[in-house]
Amino acid sequence: QQPVQSPQAVILREGEDAVINCSSSKALYSVHWYRQKHGEAPVFLMILLKGGEQKGHEKISASFNEKKQQSSLYLTASQLSYSGTYFCGTENVAAGKSTFGDGTTLTVKP
């Protein structure tokens, strides 16, 4: 069962912050985040393996709450280059395979 991402879309001005959430009904052992720009392949951002662990990539960070089976991606002081569709991928104990959410489209305007 695929994870659920929210919101589906968000529009920001440069310098503003955003949070993208990813939740699953299955017990997870890892969450990974990707960004895909229009016409390009998804690019790996980060992976979270432990409950509550936060990782960072430039001004993008993420947390993983293993108990709540949720992960959040935090984009601070957004830049034009952050525009794209963000996907979370989850690996659960039962399935052992990666399942992706439907994506969150982020648009950063000047």
Part of the chain binding another protein (CB under 8 A), chosen from 11-19, 59-67, 72-80, 100-108: 100-108
Dihedrals phi, psi of 38, to nearest 5 degrees: -55, 125
- Distance from CA of residue 46 to its chain's centroid? 9
- Asked if residue 66 binds another protein (CB under 8 A), the reply is no
Question: Could you tell me the smallest distance in angstroms from the CB atom of residue 26 to another protein?
Answer: 14
Question: Could you tell me the smallest distance in angstroms from the CB atom of residue 40 to another protein?
Answer: 7
Nearer to another protein, 16 or 36 (CB): 36
How far is Cα 46 from Cα 101, in angstroms, rounded to an integer?
15
- Asked if residue 64 binds another protein (CB under 8 A), the reply is no
Part of the chain binding another protein (CB under 8 A), chosen from 12-20, 39-47, 61-69, 72-80: 39-47
Closest CA to 94 of 32, 26, 22: 26
3-state helix, strand, coil in the chain (%, to 5): 5, 55, 40
Dihedrals phi, psi of 81, to nearest 5 degrees: -70, -10
Nearer to another protein, 44 or 56 (CB): 44
Residues that bind another protein (CB under 8 A): 2, 30, 32, 34, 40-44, 47, 87, 89, 91, 95-103
